Amino acid sequence: MKAFLHRFHGQPLQAVEIKTPEARGSEVIVEVSHCGVCHSDLHAWQGKVDYGRRGVVVRPEPAQPIAMGHEIAGRIVALGPQARDARIGDAVIAYPWLGCGACSDCTGGRDNMCRNGPRSLGFAQHGGFAEQVVLPHPRYVFPLGDLDPALAATYACSGLTVRSAIRKIMPLAPDEPLLVIGAGGLGLQAVAMLRALDHERIIIADMSAEKRGAALAAGALDFLHLRGDGDIEHLADLAGGPIPAVLDFVNNGQTALLAFDALRKGGRMVQVGLFGGELAIPLYSLALKGISICGSITGTLEDLADVLRLAREGRLRPLPIETLPKSRVNLALARLAGGAVQGRLVLAEDALDDAAVDDDGLAGDHPRAG
C-alpha cells in the first residue's frame, strides 16, 4: 500500500510503497478514507520540545520511517479470526491512542494513560497517512453512522481531547464563568463541546483579534484579546471577578500564568496545549487558594464514544473543516506550520491520482521546521 512517511524532521513526507497489513488474532484493518492533519503531527514532524529552562530538546528522528496521522475515518476491510462484533464494510472512526492493551489502564478503557509505552497510531505505528491502519481489537473502532466522515475523523483527537479536559473541570454550574485559552481548532472545539453539555458562560482568549468572529460563532459569550498587559484585569471585568476554571489549549509560560492568576479559591486549571515552556508561581497562593493544576492528554474510549453520541444527537455544533487530497499532505503540514488554517484540515482519499503532480510541484517549496 502507499504511505506518506516521516523520515527526517521538517523534510517533506515521502510517498513510499509499504507492505499491506494482514489481520491476525483480534485485529481490525481499516482502509482510511479521511485523516485529519493535527498540530501533534506538526510537533512530531518538527521534532522540537520546549522544556523551558531545561532547554529546547530535538527529539530523535523516527527509528523507522513512519506514516503519521491519527484522526482516522474509514471502512473495515479485514478482520482477524478472533475479531468479533465488527463487520467488513462498516464505516468507522478509529481510536488511535493505543497502549499495551493488557495493563489496568488499558483494560479500563484508558489506553491513552498506558504506562507500558504508547503504541498510538501515527506516532508509534503507521497511522492514517497510509492507505490502511491496524487496530488490535474491535473495541477500538466506533460506528460512523450518518456523521460526515471528514468532521467525525477529527473527533478522534480534538473532540476526545477536549471532552477529556472538560471532565476535569466539571461539575460547574452552567452560568459559572470559565475561560478557554486559544481559539484554534481545540479551543473552538471546546466551546462547541461545552455548549453541547449545556454550559453557557464561556470566555475565550487568543492573541489574535481575528479569531473573535469564529470564537463567537462557536458559541463563546465573550472574546478576550490577549495583549500581555492588563489581560487579567480585562478578564476580571468580563467575568465579574476571579473564576473557577480554565482550559488552556496553548499551555505556554504566559498562558499558564494567566490561568493561575485568574483562578478563585478552589479553582482548577487544565493544561492541554503542547507549546511548552514553564510556569513559576507563588506556592503560598497555590496552597492558600487550594488551586488544582492538572495536565490532560488526549482521552479515553469512553470520551470518544461520548463525543460521537453528542454529534449524532445534533448537539455538537460542527466546526469548519477543509479537505485536501491525501497527496497534498506536505502542503497541509506547511499550512498548519504557517498558522493559515481555520478550523481543521482533513485529507480525503478521493484525489490520490494527483500524487505525482504534487510530489513534483511541491518539491521546492516546503518550509523547514522551526
Per-residue CA distances from 73 to 62, 101, 143, 285 (Å): 25, 21, 10, 46
Site string for Zn ion, 98-137 (x = CB under 5 A): -xx--x--x-------x-x---------------------
Cβ–Cβ contacts within 10 Å for residue 238, how many?
Answer: 17
Residues 6+ apart with CB under 8 A from 351: 325, 326, 327, 328
Shortest reach from residue 114's CB to Zn ion, in Å:
3
Shortest reach from residue 63's CB to Zn ion, in Å:
21
Q: Which grid cell sits at 267?
A: 479553582
Shortest reach from residue 119's CB to Zn ion, in Å:
9
Q: Do residues 179 and 255 touch, judged by C-beta distance below 8 A?
A: no
**Which is nearer to Zn ion, 99 or 273 (by Cβ)?**
99
**Which is nearer to Zn ion, 71 or 131 (by Cβ)?**
71
Query: Which residue matches cell numbers 493544576?
Result: 293
Binding segment for Zn ion (CB under 5 A), chosen from 7-15, 91-99, 188-196, 241-249, is 91-99
**Which is nearer to Zn ion, 202 or 272 (by Cβ)?**
272
Q: Do residues 197 and 225 touch, judged by C-beta distance below 8 A?
A: no
**Which is nearer to Zn ion, 155 or 260 (by Cβ)?**
155
Q: Which residue, among 290, 231, 288, has the nearest Cα to 257 in the 3D structure?
A: 231
**Which is nearer to Zn ion, 238 or 341 (by Cβ)?**
341
DSSP single-letter state for residue 125: B
Shortest reach from residue 360's CB to Zn ion, in Å:
29
Binding segment for Zn ion (CB under 5 A), chosen from 157-165, 170-178, 222-230, 329-337, is 157-165
Shortest reach from residue 103's CB to Zn ion, in Å:
3
Binds Zn ion by CB under 5 A, chosen from 33, 40, 120, 300 = 40
**Which is nearer to Zn ion, 114 or 179 (by Cβ)?**
114
Shortest reach from residue 62's CB to Zn ion, in Å:
17
Residues 6+ apart with CB under 8 A from 171: none
Beta bridge partners of 222: 203
The number of residues that bind Zn ion (CB under 5 A) is 9
Q: Which residue, among 223, 210, 215, 189, has the nearest Cα to 321 in the 3D structure?
A: 189
Shortest reach from residue 41's CB to Zn ion, in Å:
7
User: Is position 38 an interface residue for Zn ion (rule: CB under 5 A)?
Assistant: yes
DSSP single-letter state for residue 159: I
Binding segment for Zn ion (CB under 5 A), chosen from 75-83, 95-103, 203-211, 310-318, is 95-103
Helix residue ranges, H only, the chain? 39-46, 104-107, 149-154, 160-167, 185-196, 212-218, 231-239, 253-262, 283-289, 301-312, 329-337, 355-361
Number of H helices, E strands in the chain: 12, 18
**Which is nearer to Zn ion, 50 or 105 (by Cβ)?**
105
**Which is nearer to Zn ion, 76 or 114 (by Cβ)?**
114
**Which is nearer to Zn ion, 114 or 262 (by Cβ)?**
114
- CA dihedral for 336, 339, 345, 351, sign (positive or negative): negative
Binds Zn ion by CB under 5 A, chosen from 157, 203, 246, 263 = 157
Binding segment for Zn ion (CB under 5 A), chosen from 84-92, 118-126, 149-157, 288-296, is 149-157
* Residues near Zn ion (CB under 5 A): 38, 40, 99-100, 103, 106, 114, 116, 157
